[in-house]
Amino acid sequence: MNFPPIDTITGGKLKEAGTFHWKIPNKGATNETGFKALPGGFRTMDGKFGYLGECGRWWTSHEENAYVGLGWTLHYNDGRVGPAVPSKRVGYSVRCIKDYSEGSYNSSFNDGVMDQNTVRGTVVTKDGNPLFGATISSTGTDNTSYETIADFDGRFILKNVKSGATLLFEYSGFKSQILKADFGSEMVVKLIRDPDFNGRVFITEVQNVNFRNSDFTPAKALLAINGEIINYNGNLRVNPGEIKSFKVLKDKEATGKYGDKARDGAVEIILFEEKTGPTIRKQSDKAASDTSKYKTLLRINHTANKGELIDIPVSNLQYVSVWIDNDIDKTYRKGFRSIAFMTRDYFKVKGMVVQENGKPLPGAKISATDNPVTEISDKEGRFEIEDVREGALIEFSLPGYKTYYLSTLYEVAFNLEMTIELIKENIPE
């Protein structure tokens, strides 16, 4: 199956306009076609869900082979519509068109586009704090139960809801609510604390910034220490014990403070006063200390930091996330916070391609899902492919040999040099 060339205009004509669902800037979005493409993200092979608000991906009716399908993808930061060649084990969206001649149907009319049997909304506390992880369930059109969870912002989308059905909203420590499904507007559901609940009640707040372009190449990370931006060619070099506060900025909060150079987000770190020679570098007085509020776990590439010096080139930084469990009863003096750094060089798979007898196999083609670059094993059979996302499927192929697929679902693919053995195909005489 050959895709037509990627263009830079059609994607914008397909995307829903505005930034209610799409991440800023949602470039080129006009929805001229009425397709109203939404950024549903996608599910990885291990069942994890991500990139909500950043991209939309749809299956086509064609396939590359028995293992790999063909799809189309749209992104928030450009107006392109581009091809995708994902493993069939991942989850992409499917656009279904109702055959109205079959009989009755239930739908809502929103912005000129039919949203059949779909309910959208936000789940929050009475104070308006998003309830990430709240479950929403209902009876589907096929009379089976369907369930989804609220994302980091408390938003949810539940499809295939039966006409006239009710929705059940649940979150640990809060009273459940049963509400009639509203197909015509965005539902805002406020859950109230359950006074009879005796367990711990936490609200998880997630802040994350992904310094990665849509083609998985690195975007320019922006880090500021004590208000000063670190040069992109410089290093993030601090001791964890020096950190007074740590904050992730996104979207308008980031661009409003640092301009367009922070369109992919920013990370702000405030240090305690540090004596450097005869002078003392002072931190901003406006930042309260995080150390009195949180017990912090810091990880770099999934490995816990035990107080070692953090020394990461800014150009190598790819992902930063902060997970905060807030104890809303204030039973515990400190909350729990997890800070994770992921570097670009971690997402690299390397090793050797060999024959059944163990001899090197040069010329093998190596490609990974969501990565446009193809590598070739050298004369010693060695290979190295960068910018491989977690959960990607790597394909090793060579004419005359059976194609081999390697899942990066587990960390071993990034932490060890792999030996890939290709087996000759049995060609009938």
Residues 419, 233: Cα–Cα separation, whole Å? 34
Q: What's residue 76's pLDDT?
A: 83
Say how far apart CA 42 and CA 69 lie, in whole Å: 14
pTM: 0.59
Residue 214 reports pLDDT greater than 80: no
Tell which residue, 420, 425, 403, has the closest CA to residue 354.
420
Could you report the per-residue pLDDT of 10-49, keeping only the tens digit for each?
788 888 887 768 877 788 888 888 788 888 888 876 666 7
Report all structural domains of the chain as residue ranges with CATH numbers, in order of start. Answer: 10-84 (no CATH), 105-191 (2.60.40.10), 202-345 (no CATH), 347-421 (2.60.40.1120)
Torsion of CA 279, 284, 289, 291, to 10 degrees: -50
pLDDT at 66: 63
The pLDDT of 371-375, averaged and rounded, is: 87
Residue bearing the bigger pLDDT, 412 or 304: 304
Q: Which helix (H) or strand (E) holds 412?
A: helix 412-415
Collect all residues with Cβ–Cβ distance below 8 Å to 1 and sequence separation of at least 6: 62, 63, 64, 70
The pLDDT-based confidence of 170 (bands split at 50, 70, 90) is very high
Taking the C-alpha atoms of residue 223 and residue 57, their distance in angstroms, rounded to an integer, is: 30
CB 405 within 8 A of CB 389: no
What would the pLDDT profile of 235-275 be if each residue is shown by its tens digit? 999 988 888 889 999 888 888 999 888 888 899 999 986 54
The stretch 141-163 carries a mean pLDDT of 84
Provide the strand spans (E) within 99-242: 107-110, 113-116, 119-125, 135-139, 145-149, 155-158, 166-170, 177-180, 187-191, 202-210, 223-225, 228-229, 235-238
Determine the Cα angle at 97 with ends 103 and 160, to 5°.
75
| Residues in CB range of 403: below 8 A, 6 or more apart | 65, 67, 395, 396, 397
Q: DSSP for 202-264, please give it.
A: EEEEEEEEE-B-TTSPBP---EEETTEEPPTTSEEEE-GGGEEEEEEE-HHHHHHHHGGGGTT
Residue 112 buriedness (CB in 10 A; 0-12 / 13-18 / 19+) = exposed
Q: What is the pLDDT of residue 107?
A: 39
Average pLDDT over residues 286-312: 82
Residue 36 CB coordination number (10 Å)? 18
For residue 84, give both structure tokens: 């995708």
Find where tokens 């196999």 sit.
361
Q: Quick one: pLDDT at residue 279? A: 40
Rg (C-alpha) for the chain, rounded Å, is: 24
Q: Cβ contacts of residue 193 below 8 Å, gap of 6+?
A: 173, 174, 175, 201, 328
Secondary-structure breakdown of the chain: helix, strand, coil percentages, each rounded to the nearest 5 = 10, 45, 50
d(CA 387, CA 348): 6
